[in-house]
């Protein structure tokens, strides 16, 4: 799976706020998924609040979410939706395989 890259990223605050207001929210161990399925292309955003910990902790949580998303989305080509993954306290420490399973299940529920 080397060489696969993430789809386009959500980077503007307005996009994150729009998904928070309009998107479907799915809470799972390790993350919160906000999804809008009426989108022309696949776009992802990642965030971690300061309540999570210091910068090292937040960055590690986001790196793990990015990698899990890359691996899970590789199994679902042609998906058109917008997602925001919000890290939670256990994101940085939970088993990575379990994180991937939870993400795959949440994506399947958000976009069957």
Helices (H) and strands (E) in the chain, counts: 3, 5
What is the C-alpha separation between 51 and 79, in angstroms, rounded? Answer: 32
101, 41, 48, 70: CA torsion to nearest 10: 40
Count of domains in the chain? 1
CATH code (residue 82)? 3.30.230.10
74 vs 89: CA distance, rounded Å:
26
Write out pLDDT tens, residues 75-107: 888 888 999 999 999 999 999 999 999 999 999
Whether 3 is covered by a domain: the verdict is: no
| β-strand pairing of 43-47 with 8-9 | parallel
Q: What would the pLDDT profile of 14-46 be if each residue is shown by its tens digit?
A: 999 999 999 899 999 999 999 998 888 999 999
- If pLDDT is split at 50, 70 and 90, which confidence band does 3 have? low
Residue 1 forms part of a structural domain = no
Residues spanned by the domain of 73: 8-110
Cβ neighbour number for residue 73 with a 10 Å cutoff: 19
């Amino acid at each position: 799976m080397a060489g696969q890259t993430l789809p386009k990223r959500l980077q503007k605050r307005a996009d994150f706020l729009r998904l928070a207001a309009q998107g479907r929210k799915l809470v799972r161990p390790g993350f919160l998924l906000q999804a809008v399925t009426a989108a022309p292309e696949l776009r992802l955003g990642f965030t971690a609040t300061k309540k999570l910990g210091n910068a090292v902790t937040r960055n590690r949580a986001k790196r793990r979410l990015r990698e899990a998303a890359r691996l899970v989305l590789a199994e679902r080509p042609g998906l058109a939706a917008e997602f925001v993954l919000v890290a939670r306290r256990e994101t940085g420490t939970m088993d990575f395989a379990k994180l991937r399973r939870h993400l795959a299940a949440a994506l399947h529920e958000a976009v069957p």
